[in-house]
Amino acid sequence: MTTEVGSETEVKEKAEESADQPDQSEKATEETQEVASAEGEEKGKEKEGKGISKFLPTWLKKQKSLSQTSPTKEAALKEEAISVEKQEEEGPAPEVNGLADEVPEKEAVKSEQLKEKEEKPHSKASTDTEPAKEEKVDESVEKSPEETKETTEGQGVEEEKKEQEGEVQGEGEGGGGGEEGQTSIFQSPLRLVRKTKMKLVVCHVTLLDGTDFSCEVEKRAKGQFLFFKVCDHLNLLEKDYFGLTYKDNHEQTSCLDPMKEIKRQIRSNNWQFAFNVKFYPPDPSLLSEDITRYLLCLQLREDVASGRLPCSFVTHALLGSYTLQAEFGDYEPDQPRPVDFMSQLNFAPSQNKEMEEKILELHKSHRGMTPAQADAQFLENAKKLSMYGVDLHHAKDSEGVDIMLGVCANGLLVYKDRLRINRFAWPKILKISYKRNNFYIKIRPGETEQFESTVGFKLQNHRSAKRLWKVCVENHSFFRLNTPEPPTKPRFLTLGSKFRYSGRTQAQTRTASSLIDRPAPRFERTSSKRISRSLDGAPMISITEAGRDSAENGREHRLDDSKVKTVDVSPGDVEDTSAQDHDKTQDEVLKHQASISQLKRSFMEAPPPSPPQTNQWEKRLTSSPATAVRVQQQQVVSEPHAEAAAAAAAAADFTISDTKESAKTAEVEIEETVVIQEVSKATKPALITVTTDSPASAPTDQETREPEVTVQEEVAVPKDAKAAKQESVSSESESEEEAEYHPNVSVSLSHTQIPEEKEEEDKENEDETAEQNMLAPDVSSHQAETSHPAEDISGGVVESQKEDMKKNAENEKEGRETEDSTDDLMMTPEETPNGVALSEEAVAAHVEEEPEPRINGEPRPQVICYSEPPVVKTEMVTISDTFAAQKTEIATKEVPIVHTETKTITYEAAQLDGTGDGEPGVLMTAQTITSESLCTTTTTHITKTLKGGLSETRIEKRIVITGDCDIDHDKALAQAIKEAKEQHPDMSVTRVVVHKETELAEEEED
């Protein structure tokens, strides 16, 4: 059960918080305490509250923190300990035990402590881990809302109230625990959605038969929601071959990413979509249902008639004749059609009388053929066409010659004019990547060659490069993999960047469709529709239905939720925050999930791969350590969004406190980036953590490394608990305009990994890149990002730690080491000193155990890859130089998106050391963490450099805010800086860049 993970992670988190980094723990505790105290939670509630605290949205904590602030810190620490205990009591107990076991003997002290604390829980908690966990999850979910209520009440925000109502119900149910609680969870998000000012949008989807289907969709709905609506309407079960497309601002047809919000993709208020075949099955006869074949036929008819699928005269005629047979039945000489009958039907781009006659002639020979048979024959012939299923993209080769790149089931085809001049089968391709407008594939060395080679192509622009890359990733995943992300190998879920194929693979869909057990559905063929039907007929679907669905699906949701939470928990301090974040996001996610899951269910009860995928994805989103980081950041910047978050009500609520006033404006989307670079110089290279102070580790290289390892371990541990963490790590991908995908890496690991830049960030990406580059002088940031997922996590931790630090300066130093030992759940800050030592040891032990998976998995190949892109450096140099203005300008230019005003503000500390690219130091680690929520994307780039005996840690945060409303930028900026300072008291803010874009028309994401 997913739930288990969640609980475990929670526990770990607690442990981490307390033990690993006193700072963090302190913080967390503080926060929780603060919350509790601020809102005056009774002790009775305390349990819940404390347990819940993890899940509480960051903003809540923040608010609390704001109100109560530092004075309470010490007290808070104590309280924390208590709270932790309580939490443990509630659910996690069994898990705790597991953790304790995991803990190395060296840590015996810690473990003992833990055990002591655990004992209580044990006694209470039943051995059945699952139920307990579930309860926990439920409680947490529900509780979080409760807390929100409290907070909201205090603030008296209307929206919040609404949410609260929903939550209240949830609470009641939560008290019931168990199943009821589950339902409540699901319902609550829905309710939230409804009650909050949910904006409904009417989507128009052009179906393959040319008719229009319109339905209402919540404005924040994800692509999947709409897609499933359409599939439902079509009565289509084998839906994995299909997808939705839309026209972006550049009149380019783009695929609607099912996992992303529709609104953010279309970026224009044109809710017009088309339902299309996305993957052309190489052998349509293997499709299970005639209706699927029929839809494929419709697509191919269009492809043929438009010339997209070129074919000869004879083939045109043959295909046309099958179309006639399918649509009109046998040729009837007695009832001659009107003269212009044939010419009204569109069979070919260059249709003429001769062809029509040929078609009729052939039609006669199909007498007796049923429509389904005619469709099958049509497909049998169409599939043999050389361009069948080939998705063409304009490009130039290295010499600037115009070529076409064709992506298909078998690989990548290179065409010059109509000639195929090269072909790269999927097995031959080691890596697919893009950077800017370049698209690269790394080729496996052939029998005679010794080295892999990289072939580069130039696309028209960044967007097209990305689009191509995506299509490649999708096609490879769909046609070559058995499972996109095996549940056992979470890494696959590299969602950090938004993209990787999220659906089922062909293998899976075949398996699934083989289980379809329903009478062949009846469906109308085009002809009849054409004649009789008007477009208006399309049914309207209201959100309410969706809500129901989701509610029904409660179970699945639950699972997802629990998973998500679990993931979050692990990172320690961050966890708390992250958990809270989760709550926000979860709500949203939940509803979507609900709909999705429901749909899936309807399709098949247990599609093994799919649900996990979703879950993982969600995990990624919410749970990843990055998330935690971002949460904090979100707090800072996101506030402005507040109202944007209508869907994400929770976020909105918390935001309210600070910025709300400014918030409510209309539909202008604003993307805002705040980059905060912090540089701290520490004598100690050791811990990756920002904390300079920490005396813990010695400066030796080995030592330094060890700490890193430790970090990884931490990550790993959570992973062990549930691979989820790894996923999260992997998911955090670069912020740059590039992405990589390793199709071959034969084992699942390799497949999984699909780093991608964040789409939303496109605009600012360049800026980021530059800055990032600066931060990470040596190694390409990418490497760090992908290869050292653990580090990323650590980074997140670090940040959280920092926060803690600010509050509790003293203990923190030791604390960070404590992080490593996730096990020390119970560790109180005070205990930490001991814990530190232990933790180090523990760390070492962990290192041995855990690091392996990483190495085996993705990191290796990636590392190789990294070495190659020299581009990064160059770019870095160019852009990175402190001239923020320049950077932004460049960025703006390059990013085609900008439709509106762009404003860039750069604040720079004069002190900037030679931290720039040129720095001679040894790069110890570099990592980028990217996290996303509804309206914010946060990228954190942490670089550690070892110079002489000094270790320098730079943290760069980039926060992109996208919102429907006006944002008080100045306020947000001030907040962000303030936050940053608070978070990392020992570090100095060297630069702040605010890049503000108000989009009149939204850019398309590519």
Partner 1 sequence: MAALMAGFGLYTHAIVRRIPASLAKEALRTSEAEVDVDKARGEHDAYVEVLRTRLGLDVVDLPADESFPDCVFVEDAAVVCGDTALITRPGAESRRGETEAMKRALKALNLNVVEMTDENATLDGGDVLFTGREFFVGLSSRTNQRGAEILADAFKDYAVSTVPVLASLHLKSFCSMGGPGLIVIGSSEPAQKALKIMQQMSDHCYDKLTVPDDFAANCIYMNLPDKGHVLLHCTAEQYPESFKVFEKLKDYTLIPVSNMEKVKVDGALTCCSILINKKGSI
Contact residues toward partner 1 (CB under 8 A) are 310-315, 317-318, 358, 362, 365-366, 377, 380-381, 384-387, 408, 410, 416-423, 425, 428
For partner 1, give the closer residue by CB, 311 or 965.
311
For partner 1, give the closer residue by CB, 258 or 284.
284
Closest to 438 measured CA to CA, from 480, 406, 410, 469: 469
Strand order in the sheet with 212-218: 212-218, 200-206, 272-277, 242-247, 253-255
For 896, the token pair is: 């085609």
Least Å from the CB of residue 282 to partner 1: 9
Please compute Rg for the chain using Cα positions. Answer: 28
CB 767 within 8 A of CB 879: yes
Structural element, H or E, at residue 963? strand 950-963
Least Å from the CB of residue 523 to partner 1: 25
For 961, the token pair is: 């805010």
For partner 1, give the closer residue by CB, 419 or 909.
419
For partner 1, give the closer residue by CB, 321 or 900.
321
Least Å from the CB of residue 252 to partner 1: 25
For partner 1, give the closer residue by CB, 143 or 363.
363
At 773, which amino acid appears? N
Least Å from the CB of residue 382 to partner 1: 9
Least Å from the CB of residue 418 to partner 1: 4
Least Å from the CB of residue 389 to partner 1: 10
| Residue 400 φ then ψ, to 5° | 85, 10
For partner 1, give the closer residue by CB, 70 or 410.
410
Neighbours of 78 (CB within 10 A): 14
Sign (positive/negative) of CA torsion 714, 718, 723, 728?
negative
Least Å from the CB of residue 424 to partner 1: 8
Please give the Cα distance from 620 to 937 (Å, whole number): 13
Least Å from the CB of residue 456 to partner 1: 19
> In 626-772, which ranges are E strands?
669-682, 738-741
For partner 1, give the closer residue by CB, 110 or 363.
363
For partner 1, give the closer residue by CB, 141 or 385.
385
CB 722 within 8 A of CB 563: yes
Length of the chain: 1006
Least Å from the CB of residue 434 to partner 1: 23
For partner 1, give the closer residue by CB, 315 or 886.
315
**Residue found under tokens 């659910």:** 91
For partner 1, give the closer residue by CB, 210 or 427.
427
For partner 1, give the closer residue by CB, 369 or 628.
369
Least Å from the CB of residue 509 to partner 1: 21
Q: What is the DSSP string of 125-185?
A: S-S-HHHHHHHHHHHHHHHHHHHHHHHHHHHT-HHHHHHHHHHHHHHHHHHH-HHHHHHHH
For partner 1, give the closer residue by CB, 406 or 869.
406
Least Å from the CB of residue 384 to partner 1: 5
Q: What is the DSSP letter of 366?
A: T
Structural element, H or E, at residue 477? helix 462-480
Least Å from the CB of residue 374 to partner 1: 10
For 905, the token pair is: 């503000």
Contacts of 227 (CB under 8 A, 6+ apart): 239, 242, 243, 244, 256, 258
Least Å from the CB of residue 747 to partner 1: 25
For partner 1, give the closer residue by CB, 363 or 591.
363
For 309, the token pair is: 């699928």
Question: HSE (CB half, 13 Å, CA atoms) of 698?
Answer: 4
CB 113 within 8 A of CB 826: yes
For partner 1, give the closer residue by CB, 369 or 942.
369
Least Å from the CB of residue 761 to partner 1: 37
- Classify 694 as helix, strand or coil: coil
Least Å from the CB of residue 362 to partner 1: 7
Please give the Cα distance from 498 to 420 (Å, whole number): 32
CB 967 within 8 A of CB 672: yes
Distance between first and last Cα of the chain: 36
Least Å from the CB of residue 240 to partner 1: 22
Q: What is the DSSP letter of 362?
A: H
Least Å from the CB of residue 814 to partner 1: 60
For partner 1, give the closer residue by CB, 311 or 663.
311
| Residue 278 φ then ψ, to 5° | -100, -40
Please give the Cα distance from 818 to 821 (Å, whole number): 6
For partner 1, give the closer residue by CB, 258 or 406.
406
Please give the Cα distance from 11 to 823 (Å, whole number): 8
| Residue 651 φ then ψ, to 5° | -55, -45
Distances 525 to 73, 77, 99 between C-alpha atoms, Å: 70, 69, 60
For 963, the token pair is: 């919102």
For 813, the token pair is: 């130093």
Please give the Cα distance from 821 to 109 (Å, whole number): 12
For partner 1, give the closer residue by CB, 313 or 341.
313
For 242, the token pair is: 């299909």
For partner 1, give the closer residue by CB, 382 or 551.
382
Please give the Cα distance from 460 to 634 (Å, whole number): 34
With 0-12 / 13-18 / 19 or more C-beta atoms within 10 angstroms meaning exposed / middle / buried, residue 191 is: buried
- Classify 335 as helix, strand or coil: coil
Least Å from the CB of residue 376 to partner 1: 12
